[in-house]
Amino acid sequence: MSRDPKNQARFLTALLAGAGVLHLVRPEPFDGLIPSQLPGTARAWTLGSGVAELAVAGLLANPATRSVGGRAAEALFVGVFPGNLKMAWDWRGESPAKRAIALGRLPLQLDLVARARTVARG
């Protein structure tokens, strides 16, 4: 992983902007990742997370708010981790390929947190 905060910010900006748009224009696949223990509807959480992803992408894209954006991205990536755990649990009986995707997301989330921390520290 490149330790250049500017490159990490660019990567995370693109990732979060893309994910945010997907959450808003095609929310159905994300609704199933929302733990049922959360209050409200899965759709509200899906749409809210899409808005949050777009907001954090905006913070990361602006050099004046990049450090704050890095901290916000860290929090966001930690906050969505339960959804990744739920996916891994829900897909435990699926095909080996789907199980690999669901399990592969878990360490990927740790990498994203590390990238966000690099940006936050500038």
**In the prediction, which pLDDT does 33 show?**
87
Domain holding 41, by residue range, is: 5-116
Mean pLDDT of the chain: 94
Q: Between the CA of residue 22 and those of 8, 17, 26, 60, 91, what are the distances in Å?
A: 21, 9, 5, 18, 21
Domain count along the chain: 1
Does 1 score more than 70 pLDDT? no
Structural domain contains residue 18 = yes
Q: What is the mean pLDDT of residues 109-118?
A: 95
Average pLDDT over residues 9-29: 97
Q: Is residue 122 part of a domain?
A: no
pTM: 0.89
pLDDT value at 27 more than 70: yes
- Whether 72 is in a domain gets the answer yes
Could you tell me if residue 121 is inside a domain? no
Confidence of residue 2 (pLDDT cuts 50, 70, 90): low
Give tens-digit pLDDT for 95-107. 999 999 999 999 9
Residue 37 covered by a domain: yes
Domain for residue 105, yes or no? yes
Identify whether 109 is part of a domain. yes
Instruction: Of 18, 25, 27, 29, give the one whose Cα is nearest residue 56.
Output: 18
Contacts of 94 (CB under 8 A, 6+ apart): 102
Kindly state whether residue 45 falls inside one of the protein's structural domains: yes
